Structures are given as structure tokens and as C-alpha cells.
Amino acid sequence: MVNESPDVRPRRRLRPTRRGKIVLIVAALFVVSAAVLIPLSLLGSDEKKKQERPQSTLVIPEGWRASQVFEAVDRALGLKSGSTEKTAAAVDLELPEPAEGNPEGYLFPATYPIDSATEPAGLLRYMADTARKRLGADHITAGAQRNNVTVYETATIASIVQAEADTASDMGKVARVVYNRLLKDMPLQMDSTINYALKRSTLDTTTTDTQLDSPYNSYVRKGLPPTPIGNPGEEALRAAISPTPGPWLYFVTVAPGDTRFTDSYDEQWKNVQEFNRNRRAATG
């Protein structure tokens, strides 16, 4: 939420012929064989573990932070807490230079196959490789150039959009607010960046929070945070490269499904007051 208030803020049957049945069977076998190929890129060297865990999948939702991904990998692979985080610090994920080794934003949210031979290093490489392919697509690079930002900065903007937008339909507008504020040399004042710095998720941001000494405090530091603040999905990336046209500088979600966008500070202040009343009613 963009908030400048000093108060708390914020989807008749056809029967196949005999020949058709044969085609369907062959096609099914092809799909199965293709599905089996994917985990091979994740295999480790310990063949003795092959029968210990059946083939399964690991779902990484859009917007998860790297810390959440690490914890999920530890649980899925039955590892001691912190194991995957240590691996991430040691393995070469071929991250872009501005990331300085931080994989935040490059652990692409998707469903990943895992089996008894899956190891954290291989799984992290798979995620980072998927992110590089998505972010390296022609439409992403072209969009970044069009918006006068780098691909890495696009990933950062998309991560803010992912964290801030209440609905998918709001994403393009949130992205526009980010660009408009950057163009006007205004601090972004996004609560999501402070939440990231404080390793929390909340709708309530206090005046004390906005004074936090952190490079992720977008209330006092202009420009983008030094890294993405989560791992954005396809919709957020699309919003980041093709933001909705508009003059907005502020937004606040006053109630679920009701996000107000405006370029007027006075109107924003009224919307924030409504948000505060709704929060007090919900928590009191």
C-alpha cells in the first residue's frame, strides 16, 4: 500500500475408433515418458536414496520469499531446517550480477517434480534456470527497455506488484504507481518493502516502522529496493512490463476487493481513514 499518513495504514460424447484408441495410448505413453525426463536434471549422486521417497511435486506459490522457498524445500526433501539456505549460499545459480549472489526474485514460482534423488542444489538450479528463461524472454527484455529499466529492476518491480496488489486485475495499476513515483523522484512508500525488511507480513505499518534504518525502507529511500522482495509470477511480470496507463500516485485497499487508486493526496487521505476504520472494526 502507498500511504503517506502518519497513522496506522496501510474461474454428445464421441467414442474413439480402434485406431483412435491406439493413438491415445501412444500419446499417453509419450506424456508419461516426457514427465519422467524432467526430474533427471535434479538427480544427485547418491543412488542409494532412490527408493526412499516416491516421485512427487513441490509447489512454490507466486510471491513467496526466498526464505519461504528454502523452508519448503527442506520440508519436501526431509532435510534439517536451514539446509537449503546454506546450499543456496554455496551453489552457483548463475544469477545476474546486480543480485550479488542473492537468489531473491530468481526462484521462479511453479510446480517442480521431486523424487528420492532430488537434492537442494539441483532443485535450486532448476528454479533459477526457470526464472532466467522467463526473465530472458524477448517480451520481458523489450518491456524493460521500453520502461527504461533493467531486467533485474523489472523483476524487483514485479515482486512489489506481486506483494501489493489485492487482485490480479489491480497489478497493472500498482505497477503504474511504481513507475509514476520513480519518474517523479518520489519515494515508493510501499509497506511491502518494510515488511520484507522486518521479515513479516502485515497490513499495519506504523510511523516507527517507516523510520526503519534499512535499504528496503522505501518510505525514506528513493528508488527501488536493492533486490526483489519475493519471487513474482507471470501475471506480475506482465504488469511490470506493461503497466496500465494512468496518473495514479497512491493506492490503498480499503476492503478486500476494493483498492482505490488516485493521484490526489487529499483523496488518498480519505481512503486511508476509511481503511483505518475498517481495520479497527475488524480487529476490535
pLDDT tens column, 136-182: 999 999 999 999 999 999 999 999 999 999 999 999 999 999 999 99
Name the phi and psi angles at 211, rounded to 5. -100, 5
Cβ–Cβ under 8 Å, residues 46 and 118: no
The model's pTM is 0.82
Classify the phi-psi angles of 250: left when phi > 0, otherwise alpha if psi is within -120 to 50, otherwise beta.
beta
Q: What is the pLDDT of residue 244?
A: 98
State the alpha helices, DSSP H only, in the chain. 18-37, 66-77, 83-90, 120-135, 138-146, 151-164, 171-183, 191-197, 234-241, 265-283
Q: What is the pLDDT of residue 59?
A: 98
Angle, helices 151-164/120-135, rounded to nearest 10 degrees: 100
- Which stretches of the chain drop beneath a pLDDT of 70? 1-54
Q: What is the pLDDT of residue 282?
A: 84
Cβ–Cβ under 8 Å, residues 167 and 251: no
* CA dist., res. 6 & res. 3, Å (int): 9
Q: What is the pLDDT of residue 150?
A: 98
Cβ–Cβ under 8 Å, residues 105 and 163: no
Cβ–Cβ under 8 Å, residues 196 and 224: no
Q: What is the pLDDT of residue 283?
A: 80
DSSP-derived 3-state class of residue 58: strand
Name the phi and psi angles at 164, rounded to 5. -95, -35
Residue (of 67, 93, 64, 95) closest to 82 by Cα position: 67
DSSP-derived 3-state class of residue 6: coil
* Cα dihedral 212→218→223→229 (10° resolution): 100
**What residue type is 242 in one-letter code?**
S
Beta-bridged to residue 262, according to DSSP, are 250
